[in-house]
Structure 1
Amino acid sequence: MENGNPPQADGKDPSGFLSDIIGNNVTVKLNSGVVYKGELQSVDGYMNIALEKTEEHVNGVKRREYGDAFVRGNNVMYISADS
Structure 2
Amino acid sequence: MTDPYLETVRAMGPELYERMVRALATGLWPDGTSITAAQREHTMQAVIAWGELNLPPEERIGYIDKGHKAGSSCDDPQPMTWLEKEENK
TM-score range, shorter chain: under 0.3
Larger Rg: 2
TM-score by length of 2: 0.23
Q: Which structure ranks higher in relative contact order (CA pairs < 8 Å, sequence separation ≥ 6)?
A: 1
More strand by share: 1
More helix per residue: 2
